[in-house]
Chains A and B, each alone.
Chain A
Amino acid sequence: MTTATSSSPSAPTASIAVCLKWTAARDDAGADPDDDRFAGVSAADRAALEVALRLGERWGVPVTALAAGPAGAERTLRDAIAAGADRAVRLDMDADADSRDVAFELAQATAPTGGPCADLVLCGDYSLDRGSGSVPAFIAHHRSAAQALGLVSVDTDGPAADGVVRAVRRLDGGRRELLEVPVPGVLSVEGSVASLRRAPLRRALASRTAPIEVIRTPPAHHRGAPAIVTPYRPRARVMAAPAGDDVLARLRRLTDAGAAPARGETVELAPADAARRIVEALRDWGYLADHDR
């Protein structure tokens, strides 16, 4: 088994963990916290699970699915077992626990000593609700492991022996970088990296009663301050004075700046009329020649 400080490139991988963030999508006041009907995990977490399963198969090592959350999260874990995860662990926490507490507990649970151990941890790149993408980095920190976040592809066909995972991360301007992430490491993936396999019928049936290990966690350390929630409105942008001689054009450039409030015409039309109105506008703006009609 590798340990956090081992640097041997050929150390065998002992196990893989995947962190699934369960979100109760229906947040009506008074909704039952254990009501799992509308809950789910993000496309990114499903992709992470699929990558974990492929790597687990390729390397011949077990895959553990972890979720920090209330009992409602167990359905997600059962779905992971159905798809092929070997075991499932729920860290008993509030659904709205702070990212730092969540990451700390996940790091503990995946640490090589104590708890279910894992040398490679897979996450989604950000969770549906709070979407900070910070949990994987916090786990990497606690585990002193390498991180590679927001990956757009992971090579799941590489050999197990060389102790690295090859993956591609996006950079500015459409460039990407090909990385070799040493194991132990933490990867987070975008949703389209892989689509989760259908669980076979018998596994799916058996998963309904499969045991879920539950780990009690200490009371939360951190509490975020309560937020004032308002509908999204873009922030006013600061603009450099536009260049050019034409005053009107300069003014227009300024007032058109991305976040200016409603700047155009709003129309409510039947589909056919709407299409005609759009074509008309495109023609007025000079994007369509007349023969396009």
Chain B
Amino acid sequence: MLAVIPVRAGVLPAGGAEAADECGRRVLLVGESVEHAAAHLTGEVRLCEAGPYRPGAWAAALAEVLADEPIVVLPASPDGRDLAPRLAAAMDRPCIAGATRLSSTTVVVPRDGGRTMHTMPAPAAFVATLQVGVRGVEPHDGGATVSWLDLGLDRRPIGAVDGGLADARVVEVLAPDAATVDLAEAGRIVGGGAGLRSPEQFEQLAALGVAMGASVGATRVITDRGWVGHERQIGTTGVVVSPELYLAFGISGAVQHTSGLGHPEHVVSVNVDAHCPMMQMADLAVVADANEVLAELVALLVPGAAAAPVAVAVAEGARG
């Protein structure tokens, strides 16, 4: 097994070290200022200086030199998720995305929005991405044996079509937007998931956040519904956060969500399903309707909020 880790500006991506560990520390770093990124790695480290990220050109070049590696693992970081399937295509192999465990005999992949886990025999040869944050990193000792691999990628013109392989051109790297920073650095976060009934409930969550000095986050289901902007999505494909306190309302705890959650000191989860992963993670797991609990919490904690109305079911039942 070999970990292929795309590197930008000398920085290892999230999950890079985990991918290396999953592959017994056999690593190929490819990208920009790779030597700098290798500083903290041990084991068998190969370095390939390749300039700025270019999935098409990289995949074509790597496919040739990696032909004898049956298992290639990338971290499920943004660049890893982008490069892995392209590499798999170039190598004519299946791509196993977002695995939580990989070995030469079996692979484990979460499916159905994180509700189920599929355990499959490993194909003879494949490319995979390893979910960020699922395994942790072992303490490192011993040094690294470093070798270089020159594919000439860094000397090719950027953004041009070469050998029939076009790549997109990076115009600009944008700094995190304010809202993202706010969430990424927040010590307390209230999060909402598909268990919330309507945008109004999400507004209540925001009000609760203000009252508690907490930022508001959401699962992908909620950002897909458009109730809140993208910058509020916590998880692998969203913002990676590390709060001390996390309050989860109607969130199942899919690995793509929790892997962006860091390791909060305290977790409260409100969910009707006592057994979902978010409840398993919680210090206080409350089996109840998240919408109603939220209304009650708002009544308790938000100054000036009226007590929750009681017999609203009649009005709601009017149109079904």
Contacts and interface: CB of A to CB of B under 8 A. Distances in A.
Indicate if A touches B (C-beta under 8 A): yes
Contact of B88 (A128, A134, A184): A134
A275 B95 CA distance: 45
B285 A257 contact: no
A289 to B, nearest CB: 11
Given A131-B97, A185-B166, A237-B134, A224 B172 contact: no
Interface string B147-191: 000000000000111001111111111111100110010001000
A201 interface: no
A256 interface: yes
Nearest to B75: A172
Nearest to A183: B166
Contacts of B224: 42-44, 190-192
Given A132-B95, A232-B110, A277-B284, A138 B89 contact: yes
Interface in B47-103: 55-56, 59, 77-79, 81-82, 84-86, 88-90, 94-98, 100-101
A232 B159 contact: no
A234 B255 contact: yes
A149 interface: yes
A232 B95 contact: no
Contacts of A224: 94, 120
A182 B109 CA distance: 33
B287 interface: yes
Contacts of A232: 110, 114-117, 254-255, 277
Interface size of B as a range: 35 or more
B206 interface: no
B212 to A, nearest CB: 7
Given A192-B229, A229-B117, A233-B117, A180 B168 contact: yes
Interface stretch (A53-61, A86-94, A98-106): A98-106
A146 B84 CA distance: 15
A288 B134 contact: no
Interface size of A as a range: 35 or more
B90 A141 contact: yes
B147 to A, nearest CB: 26
A33 interface: no
A170 B237 contact: yes
Interface of B: 8, 11, 13-14, 21, 55-56, 59, 77-79, 81-82, 84-86, 88-90, 94-98, 100-101, 108-121, 123, 133-139, 159-161, 164-177, 180-181, 184, 188, 212, 220, 223-226, 229-231, 237, 239-240, 245, 247, 254-255, 258, 261, 263, 265-268, 270, 274-275, 277, 279-289, 292-293, 295-297, 299-301, 308
Closest 8 CB pairs of A and B: A174-B176, A137-B85, A275-B296, A141-B89, A191-B224, A134-B85, A271-B292, A264-B283
Interface of A: 4-5, 7, 42-44, 98-100, 103, 125-126, 128-138, 140-142, 144-150, 152, 164, 166, 168-182, 184-185, 190-192, 195, 222, 224-235, 237-241, 256-259, 261-272, 274-279, 281-282, 285, 287-288, 292-293
